[in-house]
């Protein structure tokens, strides 16, 4: 099969760029130093490639992702790095032999872990991103409560997500050190062998954690590329030009492809069309000024700005080399 045979919009993964990204990250963070985050691609076939590169512990964002990873035989060491208030589905997996650790940041989330039958936790610490996480000075007390409830506290996690895409690398490094200072202070009170954090934007800077939760590095997007990371762009969305308007006196020409809001994660801004200029996206359409002449029926490869929600909008990934489709992987961790 060739890419021209695919129905568009279609997710494409460049096989060579993907393999290079996996190999480079395995060299930078070998084995347990990397806990890949499957929320970026939601695809167990790609997770198997990451496991083959030596990373057998994974980070998940949803209960559904945990379930899918266990069903795929990848349940050796899974971290659900989000707070949840119903852990019964997770407890059932633990009862069948999967190792699952859940992030907690409050008495309520701790109670949910106990009630659901999960046995291991990480204390989630607020290191500066105003999202989940307990204040560092309260982390030790929550760990004590977890142990009193019969749970094993493996350590702490803290995500410096607000720093991932800072363009100034020196500033990113300085602020990462500040955030990790908060996490290490909490870890001194909590104990345990795990200090988990980081992501694609700080993987080379964050030397304080025992494991990095990077996910986007495998496929990449324009937002991370703009941050200057030495990682290849592997993911594009294949589209078909469905309309063109020729330039007239005083009016530039434009083209429209069938890759709109329903095929792209847009929270990080517009996608890119190499060689062209994107004007805007609407429900089913992407309007852009092409850099070279283009006709109805031509195919374009659109580079998304945010890989995670883009993958979640599609049912499959097509692994390609040039125009040849080598394989098709279901995005089987979608949904809840």
pLDDT truncated to tens, each residue of the chain (336 aa)? 999 999 999 999 999 999 999 999 999 999 999 999 999 999 999 999 999 999 999 999 999 999 999 999 999 999 999 999 999 999 999 999 999 999 999 999 999 999 999 999 999 999 999 999 999 999 999 999 999 999 999 999 999 999 999 999 999 999 999 999 999 999 999 999 999 999 999 999 999 999 999 999 999 999 998 888 889 999 999 999 999 999 888 778 999 999 999 999 999 999 999 999 999 999 999 999 999 999 999 999 999 999 999 999 999 999 999 999 999 999 999 999
- Is the C-alpha dihedral spanning 264, 270, 276, 280 positive or negative? positive
Q: Which of helix, strand or coil describes residue 278?
A: strand
Q: Where are the domains of the chain?
A: 3-10+231-330, 15-220
Please tell me the distance from the alpha carbon of residue 137 to that of residue 101, in angstroms, as a whole number.
22
- pLDDT tens by residue, 279-304: 999 999 999 999 999 999 999 999 99
Please tell me the distance from the alpha carbon of residue 75 to that of residue 69, in angstroms, as a whole number.
6
Name the helix (H) or strand (E) containing 283. Answer: none
- Do the domains spanning 3-10+231-330 and 15-220 agree at the CATH topology level? no
pTM: 0.96
Task: Give the bridge partners for 212, in sequence order.
Answer: 34, 197
User: Where are any strands of DSSP class E within 138-253?
Assistant: 152-158, 194-197, 211-212, 235-245
Contacting residues for 108 by C-beta, under 8 A, at least 6 apart = 85
- pLDDT tens by residue, 103-128: 999 999 999 999 999 999 999 999 99
Q: Which structure tokens are listed for 279?
A: 């004007």
| CATH top-level class of 3-10+231-330 | mainly beta
Report the CATH number of the 15-220 domain. 3.20.20.10
CB of 125 within 8 A of CB of 158?
A: yes
Task: Give the bridge partners for 58, in sequence order.
Answer: 78
Please tell me the distance from the alpha carbon of residue 124 to that of residue 308, in angstroms, as a whole number.
22
Q: Helix 44-52 vs helix 15-28: angle between axes, to the nearest 10 degrees?
A: 50
């Amino acid at each position: 099969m060739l890419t021209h045979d695919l129905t568009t919009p279609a997710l494409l993964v460049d096989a060579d760029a993907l393999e290079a990204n996996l190999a480079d990250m395995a060299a930078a963070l070998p084995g347990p130093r990397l806990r890949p985050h499957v929320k970026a691609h939601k695809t167990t076939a790609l997770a198997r490639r990451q496991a083959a590169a030596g990373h057998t512990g994974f980070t998940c964002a949803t209960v559904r992702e945990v379930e899918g990873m266990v069903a795929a035989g990848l349940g050796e060491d899974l971290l659900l790095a989000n707070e949840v208030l119903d852990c019964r589905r997770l407890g059932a997996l633990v009862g069948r032999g999967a190792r699952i650790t859940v992030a907690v940041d409050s008495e309520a989330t701790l109670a949910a872990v106990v009630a659901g039958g999960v046995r291991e936790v990480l204390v989630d610490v607020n290191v500066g991103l105003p999202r989940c996480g307990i204040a560092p000075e309260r982390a030790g007390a929550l760990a004590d409560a977890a142990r009193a409830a019969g749970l094993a506290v493996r350590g702490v996690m803290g995500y410096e997500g607000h720093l991932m895409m800072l363009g100034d690398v020196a500033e990113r490094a300085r602020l990462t050190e500040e955030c990790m200072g908060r996490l290490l202070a909490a870890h001194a009170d909590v104990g345990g062998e795990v200090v988990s954090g980081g992501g694609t934007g700080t993987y080379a800077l964050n030397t304080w954690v025992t494991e990095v939760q990077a996910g986007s590095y495998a496929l990449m997007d324009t937002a991370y590329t703009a941050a200057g990371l030495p990682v290849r762009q592997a993911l594009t969305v294949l589209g078909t030009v469905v309309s063109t308007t020729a330039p007239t006196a005083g009016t530039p020409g434009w083209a429209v492809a069938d890759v709109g809001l329903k095929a792209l994660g847009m929270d990080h801004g517009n996608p890119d069309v190499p060689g062209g200029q994107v004007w805007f996206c609407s429900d089913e359409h992407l309007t852009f000024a092409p850099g070279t002449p283009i006709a109805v029926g031509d195919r374009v490869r659109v580079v998304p700005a945010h890989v995670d929600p883009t993958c979640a909008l599609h049912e499959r990934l097509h692994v390609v080399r040039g125009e040849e489709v080598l394989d098709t992987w279901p995005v089987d961790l979608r949904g809840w």
